[in-house]
Amino acid sequence: MPRKKIVAGNWKMNKTYEEGLALVSALKNASRPESVWMIVTPPALLTREVSSMLKEQNQLSVAAQNCHQETSGAYTGEISAPMLRAAGAELVIIGHSERRQYFGEDNALLLSKVRQALAHDLQPIFCMGEPLEIREAGTHLEYVKNQLEKSVFQLAESDFKKIILAYEPIWAIGTGKTAQPEQAQEMHQAIRSWIVEKYNTETANDTSILYGGSCKPANAKDLFSLPDVDGGLIGGASLKADDFLAIAHSF
């Protein structure tokens, strides 16, 4: 079974209510590639409305940017996986570098979040990646492998198969730098080989691995042509319908 081609747009803390709905409307009414699964990830306040807009849309889904590790409780300001699912979210981003860096989320916590998502029928988009100092030290492969081993590699194979992975070279997020195609392929190929070691070849071949580091219309085609890159987790370029659509058409 061929791996899914995916472009997921992470809006982060951008777009007001009206702006967000206008962006989704533009995507909904545009000509989209039938073979590419497009995912929008608006702020949580927009989840229900966007989900309603995208009902019965083929290959266009809504995700959440984060979820809490508990089902419910006294966690002021937090949003749980069952709340997100009830609002219409189908997926959730977990482990984004900004959550790790700014909110101190470690691998053990992220594993708890993944388990919560899976328990409530949310498909995780699980992120991993190295900062600049690790890349410059040449220990990036060991660093990312450790992130996986301490988190999603703790899952049973049946649960791991439900996950989408996203490699984020942190040094290339919002900096204007982009991993060279050979750098992206090296890491994606390594991740797939580690899945073979942990689970098996079939699971590795079925797992979609996205690239998440300053992917834009100008470089998407080169990145998506790599044998182990199955799409992108898109930041800034997902905030403009034309750019996001151009990336989706890059396959």
Annotated active-site residue 168? The verdict is yes
Q: What is the predicted pLDDT for the residue at 175?
A: 73
Cβ(192)–Cβ(209) under 8 Å?
Answer: yes
Nearest CA to 208 out of 125, 96, 114 is that of 125
Q: Which of 96, 120, 140, 188 is the catalytic position?
A: 96
Nearest to 13 by CA among 117, 139, 98: 98
Helix (H) or strand (E) run with residue 37 in it? strand 36-41
Determine the Cα–Cα distance for residues 79 and 64; give it in Å rounded to an integer.
10
* Domains, the chain: 5-248 (3.20.20.70)
Q: What does the block give as tokens for 61?
A: 């889904």
Positions of the chain with pLDDT lower than 70, given as ranges: 1, 176
pLDDT given for residue 1 in this prediction:
61
Tell me which of 105, 130, 168, 188 is the catalytic residue: 168
State the pTM of this model.
0.97
Q: What is the pLDDT of residues 13-71, one digit of tens each?
A: 999 999 999 999 999 999 999 999 999 999 999 999 999 999 999 999 999 999 999 99
Q: Is 140 a catalytic residue?
A: no
